Amino acid sequence: MDPEASVPLKEDPVAQAKLVHSDDISWTKNPKYVDTWFRRLVTSDNLSTSLIRIEPGGGQVPHVHPNDIEEVTYALEGEGDVLISGRWQKCAPGDCLYVGPGLEHCVKNPG
């Protein structure tokens, strides 16, 4: 399909389809975590997706999302420690983490 001929997607935040250019969204420091920034990409009633940057030695504290929020984390670069279901695991570029509703989790960059 010719991209020039494509129909623009709806800009509604709960649209069934949406294209987001992450570079168009500013980085926001997350005040709840150490040396952690995010770009909120897409949210809906049940899904939250963000681009997250964690500096060496930084990271999240263990947390649970409210309601029925699901989260998917995909590692682009670097290595991290991931807590899910009470167990620490290593993650590396190309790894993908799914966290279902109500599960305690966090991601840290050990540096």
Q: Which helix (H) or strand (E) holds 86?
A: none
Relative to beta strand 47-59, strand 87-91 is: unpaired
Residues in a beta bridge with 42: 49
Query: How confident is the model at residue 1, as a pLDDT?
Result: 46
Report residue 19 as tokens. 């294209």
Q: Is the distance from CB of 57 to CB of 109 less than 8 angstroms?
A: yes
Whether the per-residue pLDDT at 41 is higher than 60: the answer is: yes
Model-level pTM?
0.75
Comparing CA positions, the residue from 85, 7, 10 lying closest to residue 44 is: 10
- What is the amino acid identity at position 6? S
Residues listed for the chain: 111
At 12, the pLDDT band (50, 70, 90 cuts) reads low
At 46, the pLDDT band (50, 70, 90 cuts) reads confident
Query: How confident is the model at residue 3, as a pLDDT?
Result: 47
Mean pLDDT, the chain, whole residue set:
85
